[in-house]
A and B are shown apart, each in its own frame.
Chain A
Amino acid sequence: MSGDPAIDVRGVSVTFGRRPALESVDLRVEKGDFYAVIGPNGGGKSTLLKVILGLIRPSEGTVMVLGGTPFERRHLLGYVPQYRTFDFSYPVTVGEMVLSGRLGHIGGFPRRYRQGDRVAAERAMETMGIHDLAGLEICALSGGQQQRAIIARALVGDPEVLILDEPTVYVDTPTGEHFLDLLTGLRRQMTVLLVTHDIGVLSSRVTKVACLNRCIFTHETAEITGDMLEGAYHCPVDLIAHGLPHRVLGEHEQEERP
């Protein structure tokens, strides 16, 4: 059981209508990885995450999560959905929203929060630095604070794997850096898999990188090779050395948007 990879995606294809979103994608995330999947918008990144979470059934291929099917194991995953798809107009406080992330661990009927759940919520909010905002309604927060609240909700379930969809979209660059430090801190406790179209968020903190544009291009290190980028973005891109500022793709991304 402990030898199982955190996430093992094999030959997964997904088709929406006639349009293929993913084509025989393989992705193996080991426990303790800080894995980044990059790729252009519309390249299937969110789809891949939803397949891993058991929200989309692949037309081909298999997905194993922590040695089981996504349905058996997904309550052990912490999911941070894309910020812009999130509905912040719901009447709920930050504290309640974060606490609701415990519901997957609460059996019984009717479901009730216990002391331990409240303690876990406090801790998750402290980790994300939004402890003092607990009583506020979520629509009263700034974009960055809202993003932290979504992550806190994912952390409150003590996930073994944290899965983030475009976590830095609405975080400005200084905060973005701090934000990555936060994720790096979390990494010591859990496996992290994030997808982003923003190659600028990548840094020496990431242990593995893959490029996804319908097909996946992997490299078992944190290095992004020219082949991978060319394959994923369909255009020659200057080779980006590990650890240097990666601003090159910022410009390409505009052209690649369908």
Chain B
Amino acid sequence: MISVLALEFFRNAIIAGLLASVACGVIGTYVVVRRMVSLSGGISHAAFGGIGIGYYLGLDPLLSATVFTVAVALGMGELSLRRKQNLETVIGAVWATGMALGILFVYLTPGFAPDLFGYLFGNILLVPREDLVLMVALVAVILVVVALFFRDLFAVTFDEEYAQVMNLPVERISLLLLALVALTVVMLIQVVGIILVIALLTIPAAIAREFASRLWRMMALAVALGAIFTVSGIVLSYILNVPSGATIILVSAAVYGVVMGFRTLAPGR
């Protein structure tokens, strides 16, 4: 096992997993407490459209996915803020439209799309060094923004109406949160892939909610749990020679199931 750590790809995978855990622990906490799980699902699947566009235009798919996903997230945010549309319906439409755009653009791109499967299901063992640098930058941005806007984000996610009465910039803060979700989603694509992103975003935070009574504690616990899940998932997938993204999710889901089972059998609160 130790000798494996000497391999660069394996080391990179572990680092990528830890970075992703930080992002999904912090932002996933907001996703869970503000009940934006399906919204985040829509945003993550829309990312596939960005990847397809990247292929078609010959850009770095992850870069075009970042721009596209943030734009979609802000658009959905505007729509739900301005016109009180049924957000669930909009999410469903965006979810499928993003995927459809991705499929169409990949089809239109001449030649074969070699790592398409990786974007859909993740391939953390193939994270190149440059992507690690990008991930470090994204995590830094997410942490700094959350630290600076911690009280505003709390007010808006806790009681949006009251935040409005207090004349806080509710609209801007909501859009900021959506942009952060979009950035986190793009980061997680490398790790577990578009289809599995939502699990890594919500499961660590959902388990943390059971044990943490305050927001920052929930974040810290979710980061720790995410780190345990990703690292053990990577190691397991390496040993068993199975896909890493799926293994990470299954490890997370197993722990979630056990925790929920205990909670149901012995209701502590």
* A→B interface (CB under 8 Å): 53-55, 71, 74-75, 77, 79, 81, 86-87, 89-93, 96-97, 100-101, 103-104, 106, 109-113, 137, 139-140, 153, 157
CA distance in complex: A54, B165 (Å): 8
- Chain A contact residues, majority secondary structure: loop
Given A92-B158, A139-B269, A140-B269, A75–B214 Cβ distance below 8 Å? no
B26 nearest CB across to chain A (Å): 14
Tell me which of A86, A110, A137 contacts B148 (CB under 8 A): A110
Chain B residues positioned under 8 Å from A157 (CB to CB):
166
Given A74-B165, A91-B214, A104-B167, 18 further pairs, Cβ under 8 A: A55-B164, A55-B165, A75-B165, A79-B165, A81-B162, A87-B159, A90-B215, A91-B218, A92-B214, A100-B155, A101-B166, A103-B166, A104-B168, A109-B148, A110-B151, A139-B269, A140-B269, A153-B162
Contact of B213 among A71, A93, A153 (CB under 8 A): A93
Within 8 A of A (CB), among B196-212: 209, 212
Residues of A within 8 A of B155 (CB): 100, 103
Q: Determine which of B161, B214, B218 lies in contact with A93 in the assembled complex, contact meaning CB atoms within 8 Å.
A: B214
Contact-residue size bin, chain B (C-beta under 8 Å from the other chain): 20 to 34
A53–chain B nearest beta-carbon distance, Å: 5
24 contacts between A and B (CB under 8 A): A54-B165, A79-B165, A81-B161, A86-B159, A89-B33, A90-B33, A91-B214, A91-B215, A91-B217, A93-B213, A100-B155, A101-B162, A103-B151, A103-B152, A104-B165, A109-B148, A110-B150, A110-B151, A111-B151, A112-B151, A137-B213, A139-B269, A140-B269, A153-B162
Taking beta carbons and an 8 Å cutoff, which residues of B are in contact with A? 33, 147-152, 154-155, 157-159, 161-168, 209, 212-215, 217-218, 269
Chain A residues within an 8 Å CB radius of B151:
100, 103, 106, 110-113
Q: Of residues B157, B166, B214, which shows the largest number of chain A Cβ atoms within 10 Å of its Cβ?
A: B166
Shortest Cβ gap from B32 to chain A (Å): 9
Assess whether B152 is in contact with A91, with CB atoms less than 8 Å apart: no
> Are A91 and B148 in touch, CB under 8 angstroms?
no
Residues of the A chain whose Cβ atoms lie less than 8 Å from the Cβ of B147 = 110
- A102 shortest CB reach to chain B, Å: 9
**Inside 8 A of B213's CB, which chain A residues have their CB?**
91, 93, 137
